[in-house]
């Protein structure tokens, strides 16, 4: 597909060289995932998004609010603190906060292992804002930049701009255990971008390599027997494509078939954790999230460009009641795994050019839902995410919420701002990474967003 969004084949592309690149300054076709230079010097070349779906509570993780202790159980003191449901009063955090690292970054005991080893590498954004307090549109906003309409995911935009460094594995891999999250594959879709840029889901609740990605090996034929069959099928499809030069989806399908064949040589090996060092596996933890992040590191080493690592299907962090027990259980597995993952990336020299993002689609209220002081409601007015590596300034908190932790009052940061900053770190001007569709130039940040330079190293 050309940079105006008009579909064409490889043959047409070659015949049309030289081709005007326009503002994007790189070439991308539907059958090309070869590495491409970004528009400008990049600090990061790969992205890992640790998605805490359901909405973790900022006042129980990365945004300490001592005022909640004094007001615990009392009516809401501010009429502007509006929630979806009736409240049972202010609810203090059951978790202790401490300061970590030379920076003194304040973090809850839920993520003590991560903070004790990596506080000075973390940039906590305490003033994130979404648009509505509902899961579906907020998931879409965080993942695609639009909460209502079908749009390409962040990962798809990055593949469109950068291609991939590996040829035998998908360039965009999604690790989500126990089924799909809310709105399913829409979270990692390519939408109107070529289908080759869509994420590939692995159900990491399963542990056998052949179960993580089913049908990876032919049940009877070896690779050398399959190659002639793939070549014949590809020749027939190319002949069909020559008669339908505008069939961009067909050309994407050709690439998918070829990738499926190549994956047979490397896919099972990278998914098999049995040969990993036992001490390293112990550091990650023998848990679903420990295995997920160890697998993520192995995939990144082999050239995967974008990794999304999810808490699980549904909304694990959506703790409207029994928050103390559920947040503690979720964080226990994640904390150990994240600390080991960042250690591993640092030791292998990969953290400096890997951008790591942690967070959910929104946060939670500082007040409890009816009838008791047990859980918290959705809150899109002010919540926390953090980033590390990839050119991010570590050991800092950016922005702030009010004294109760409900609304961003200092340096509010929209999801569009977050995306613009991420693209900047990965070498792109968010206003110039565009794709023409339906008569207009689309971009991840739509008509919004600014690069938040205060958090850049």
In whole angstroms, what is the distance from residue 409 CA to residue 83 CA? 17
Examine residue 225 and state whether it is found in any structural domain, yes or no.
Answer: no
> With DSSP H G I counted as helix, E B as strand and the rest as coil, what are the percentages for the chain, rounded to 5?
35, 20, 45
The residue-averaged pLDDT of 236-263 equals: 67
Share of the chain above pLDDT 70, in %: 83
Examine residue 136 and state whether it is found in any structural domain, yes or no.
Answer: yes
What is the DSSP-derived secondary structure letter of residue 445? T
The residue-averaged pLDDT of 415-433 equals: 98
| pLDDT of 17 strictly over 70 | no
Q: Around Cβ 278, how many Cβ atoms within 10 Å?
A: 7
Q: Around Cβ 53, how many Cβ atoms within 10 Å?
A: 25
User: Which residue has 């960042």 as its token pair?
Assistant: 342
| pLDDT of 26 strictly over 60 | no
The reported pLDDT for the residue numbered 29 is 37
Half-sphere exposure (CA, 13 Å, Cβ side) for 331?
Answer: 25
| pLDDT of 279 strictly over 80 | yes
Examine residue 336 and state whether it is found in any structural domain, yes or no.
Answer: yes
Instruction: For the chain, count helices (H), then strands (E).
Output: 12, 18
Q: Where residue 239 falls among pLDDT bands split at 50, 70, 90?
A: confident
Any idea what the CATH number is for the domain that residue 66 is in?
Answer: 3.40.720.10
Q: Where residue 118 falls among pLDDT bands split at 50, 70, 90?
A: very high
The reported pLDDT for the residue numbered 243 is 77
The reported pLDDT for the residue numbered 25 is 30
Examine residue 222 and state whether it is found in any structural domain, yes or no.
Answer: no
Return all residues near 352 (Cβ < 8 A) that are at least 6 apart.
43, 389, 390
With beta carbons less than 8 A apart as the criterion, state whether 46 and 355 touch.
yes
The residue-averaged pLDDT of 34-57 equals: 95
Nearest to 26 by CA among 40, 38, 18, 11: 38
The reported pLDDT for the residue numbered 182 is 93
Between 50 and 263, where is the model more confident? 50
Helix axes 288-301, 248-271, angle to 10 degrees: 110
- Ranges 45-54, 72-81, 296-305, 392-401: which has the least confidence: 72-81
The residue-averaged pLDDT of 337-365 equals: 98
- Ranges 13-22, 224-233, 271-280, 328-337: which has the least confidence: 13-22
In whole angstroms, what is the distance from residue 403 CA to residue 387 CA? 23
In whole angstroms, what is the distance from residue 313 CA to residue 181 CA? 4
Q: Where residue 24 falls among pLDDT bands split at 50, 70, 90?
A: very low
Examine residue 251 and state whether it is found in any structural domain, yes or no.
Answer: no
Examine residue 268 and state whether it is found in any structural domain, yes or no.
Answer: no
Between 179 and 329, where is the model more confident? 329
Token pair belonging to 13: 């592309």
| pLDDT, tens digit (0-9, with 9 covering 90-100), for 208-229 | 876 776 656 656 656 676 677 7
| pLDDT of 230 strictly over 80 | no
H-helix or E-strand containing 345? helix 323-347
Between 244 and 203, where is the model more confident? 203
Q: Give the count of domains, the chain.
A: 1
Q: Where residue 4 falls among pLDDT bands split at 50, 70, 90?
A: very low
Half-sphere exposure (CA, 13 Å, Cβ side) for 272?
Answer: 9
Examine residue 321 and state whether it is found in any structural domain, yes or no.
Answer: yes
- Ranges 44-53, 141-150, 251-260, 385-394: which has the least confidence: 251-260
- Backbone dihedral angles phi then psi of residue 362, each to the nearest 5 degrees: -165, -170
Burial 322-356, CB ≥16 within 10 A → b, else e:
ebeebbeebbbbbbbbbbbbbbbbbeeebbebbbb
Domain that holds residue 380: 33-207+273-455
- Ranges 27-31, 139-143, 304-308, 316-320: which has the least confidence: 27-31
User: Which residue has 């859980």 as its token pair?
Assistant: 375
| pLDDT, tens digit (0-9, with 9 covering 90-100), for 57-113 | 999 999 999 999 999 999 887 767 777 788 889 999 999 999 999 999 999 999 999
Q: Where residue 339 falls among pLDDT bands split at 50, 70, 90?
A: very high
Q: Where residue 11 falls among pLDDT bands split at 50, 70, 90?
A: very low
Examine residue 187 and state whether it is found in any structural domain, yes or no.
Answer: yes
The reported pLDDT for the residue numbered 240 is 75
Q: Where residue 33 falls among pLDDT bands split at 50, 70, 90?
A: confident
| pLDDT, tens digit (0-9, with 9 covering 90-100), for 150-209 | 899 999 999 999 998 876 889 999 999 998 999 999 999 999 998 889 999 999 998 887
Q: Where residue 262 falls among pLDDT bands split at 50, 70, 90?
A: low
With beta carbons less than 8 A apart as the criterion, state whether 50 and 356 touch.
yes
Return all residues near 225 (Cβ < 8 A) that are at least 6 apart.
none
With beta carbons less than 8 A apart as the criterion, state whether 54 and 319 touch.
yes
């Amino acid at each position: 597909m050309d940079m105006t969004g008009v579909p064409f084949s490889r043959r047409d592309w070659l015949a049309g060289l030289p081709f005007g690149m326009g503002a994007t300054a790189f070439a991308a076709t539907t059958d090309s995932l070869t590495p491409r230079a970004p528009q400008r010097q990049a600090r990061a070349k790969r992205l890992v998004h640790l998605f805490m779906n359901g909405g973790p509570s900022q006042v129980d993780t990365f945004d300490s609010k001592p005022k909640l202790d004094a007001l615990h159980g009392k009516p809401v003191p501010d009429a502007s603190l509006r929630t979806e449901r009736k409240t049972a009063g202010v609810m203090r955090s059951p978790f202790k906060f401490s300061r970590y690292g030379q920076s003194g970054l304040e973090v809850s005991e839920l993520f003590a292992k991560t903070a004790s080893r990596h506080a000075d590498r973390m940039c906590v954004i305490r003033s994130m804002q979404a648009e509505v307090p509902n899961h579906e549109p907020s998931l879409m906003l965080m993942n695609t930049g639009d909460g209502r309409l079908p749009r390409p995911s962040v990962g798809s935009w990055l593949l469109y701009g950068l291609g991939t460094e590996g040829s035998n594995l998908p360039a965009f891999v999604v690790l989500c255990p126990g089924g799909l999250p809310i709105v399913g594959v829409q979270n990692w879709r390519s939408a109107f971008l070529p289908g080759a840029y869509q994420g590939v889901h692995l159900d990491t609740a399963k542990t056998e390599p052949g179960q993580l990605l089913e049908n990876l090996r032919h049940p009877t034929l070896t690779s050398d027997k399959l190659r002639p069959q793939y070549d014949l099928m590809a020749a027939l499809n190319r002949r069909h494509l020559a008669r339908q030069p505008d069939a961009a989806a067909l050309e994407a399908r050709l690439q998918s078939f070829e990738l499926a064949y190549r994956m047979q040589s490397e896919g099972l090996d990278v998914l098999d954790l049995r040969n990993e060092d036992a001490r390293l596996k112990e550091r990650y933890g023998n848990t679903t999230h420990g295995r997920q992040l160890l697998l993520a590191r192995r995939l990144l080493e082999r050239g995967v460009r974008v990794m999304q690592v999810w808490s699980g299907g549904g909304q694990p962090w959506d703790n409207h009641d029994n928050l103390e027990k559920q947040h503690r259980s979720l964080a226990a597995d994640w904390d150990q795994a994240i600390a080991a993952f960042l250690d591993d990336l640092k030791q292998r020299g990969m953290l400096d050019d890997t951008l790591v993002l942690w967070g959910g689609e929104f946060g939670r209220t500082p007040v409890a839902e009816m009838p008791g002081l047990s859980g918290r409601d959705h809150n899109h007015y002010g919540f926390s995410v953090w980033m590390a590596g990839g050119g991010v300034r570590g050991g800092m908190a950016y922005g702030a919420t009010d004294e109760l932790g409900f609304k961003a009052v200092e340096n509010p940061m929209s999801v569009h701002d977050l995306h613009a900053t991420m693209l900047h770190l990965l070498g792109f001007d968010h206003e110039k990474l565009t794709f023409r569709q339906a008569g207009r130039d689309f971009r991840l940040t739509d008509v919004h967003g600014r690069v938040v330079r205060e958090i850049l190293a």
